[in-house]
């Protein structure tokens, strides 16, 4: 069974290193895109929403920052848990957004998972 789930090319050290580098760079790019998207959404929501809803958006800010900063911290240390932390913190951020904003719209972001 193990032989059917293993890609024999990964036994080559050079190929395994290239695949690991590609995985790391892809996660780094996803973190940057997510951070830029969140900042754009946060600023647009803060500008376009009534002032009394401002604290709700700021309540979500530490959750998102903790997730992205944790992913970056784990990734700089070469941890294998960085991708899992990124996915889990994203799901938690979306759930917190749905709860804080009292809307089901953020849950559409989790639907593809």
- pLDDT tens, residue by residue, 74-90: 999 988 899 999 999 99
Q: pTM for this structure?
A: 0.78
The mean pLDDT value of the chain amounts to: 85
User: What's the CA angle centered on 38, arms 34 and 42, to 5 degrees?
Assistant: 175
Per the CB < 8 A criterion, the answer to whether 70 and 55 are in contact is no
| Higher-scoring residue by pLDDT: 34, 105 | 34
Distance of CA 10 to the CA centre of its chain: 27
Write the pLDDT tens digit of every residue in 40-78: 988 888 888 888 888 888 899 999 999 999 999 999 998
How high is the pLDDT of residue 11? 74
Would you report the helix, strand and coil content of the chain in percent, each value rounded to 5?
85, 0, 15
The position carrying tokens 């990124």 is 86
Dist CA 23 CA 8 (whole Å): 18
pLDDT-based confidence at 1, cuts 50/70/90?
Answer: very low
More confident residue, 106 or 53: 53
């Amino acid at each position: 069974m193990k032989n059917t789930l293993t890609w024999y090319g990964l036994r080559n050290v050079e190929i395994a290193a290239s695949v690991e580098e590609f995985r790391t760079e892809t996660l780094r790019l996803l973190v940057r895109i997510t951070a830029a998207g969140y900042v754009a959404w946060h600023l647009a929501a803060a500008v376009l929403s009534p002032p009394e809803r401002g604290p709700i958006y700021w309540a979500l800010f530490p959750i998102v920052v903790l997730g992205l900063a944790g992913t970056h911290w784990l990734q700089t240390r070469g941890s294998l848990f960085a991708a899992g932390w990124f996915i889990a913190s994203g799901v938690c951020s979306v759930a917190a957004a749905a709860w804080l904003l009292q809307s089901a719209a953020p849950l559409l972001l989790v639907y593809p998972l």
